[in-house]
Amino acid sequence: MLVAGSIEHPPLASPPASPALGACYIVGSGATGAWTGKSQSVAAWTSGGWRFVSPVEGMLLYERTSGTWAAFRSGAWELGMARAAALLIGGQQVVGPRAAAIASPTGGTIIDSEGRAAIDAILSTLTEHGLIGS
């Protein structure tokens, strides 16, 4: 259930009617039925019925419907978020810590409106993606 653990869906408040043997779920808030009182636990359907594991800080489960991860942090499940200090592709860092804001161009003796518009669009996109401050 927890070795290379995966869950079938985002958290659910009530158990599915016909779970597959070995299927796992995160029990959501306000749990009902066989899951009452097990909110935030990992529930697994076994040949002997439901088995529950209480989450621990840093627990990580693959969420199959979205292809993302569920991580237990600070007493709650985070779904679909990735945390890292850097992103490396082919051994090369492509994203690192957020850089400071970059001011739009001003001044100069010759003003290129198209060039400035392109630079402003690039800066805006970098800011929207969180790569530079605003």
Let me know whether 60 and 43 are in one domain.
yes
pLDDT of residue 129: 84
In a domain, 133, yes or no: no
What's the confidence (pLDDT) of residue 74? Answer: 95
- The closest alpha carbon to 60, from 81, 39, 89, belongs to 81
* Spatial contact of 28 and 12, defined as CB atoms under 8 Å apart: yes
pLDDT at 97: 87
Under 8 Å CB-to-CB from 115, ≥6 apart: which residues?
105
Please say whether the beta carbons of 55 and 42 come within 8 A. yes
Residues 98 and 60 in one domain: no
Residues 10 and 75 in one domain: yes
pLDDT at 21: 94
Q: Are residues 35 and 99 in the same domain?
A: no
Residue 118 C-beta-side C-alpha neighbours within 13 Å: 5
Domain that holds residue 115: 87-128
Distances (CA, A) of 132 to 6, 96, 123, 127: 34, 10, 8, 5
Instruction: With 0.75 as the threshold, say if the pTM is over it.
Output: no
For the chain, residues with pLDDT lower than 70 are: none
Q: Does some domain include residue 134?
A: no
On whether both 59 and 104 belong to a single domain, the answer is no
Do 74 and 91 fall within a single domain?
A: no
What pLDDT, on the 0 to 100 scale, is given for residue 2?
73
In the chain, how many domains are there? 2
pLDDT given for residue 95 in this prediction: 86
* 43 and 65 belong to one structural domain: yes
75 and 120 in a single domain? The answer is no
- 14 and 64 housed in the same domain: yes
Looking at the structure, tell me whether residues 71 and 12 fall in a common domain: yes
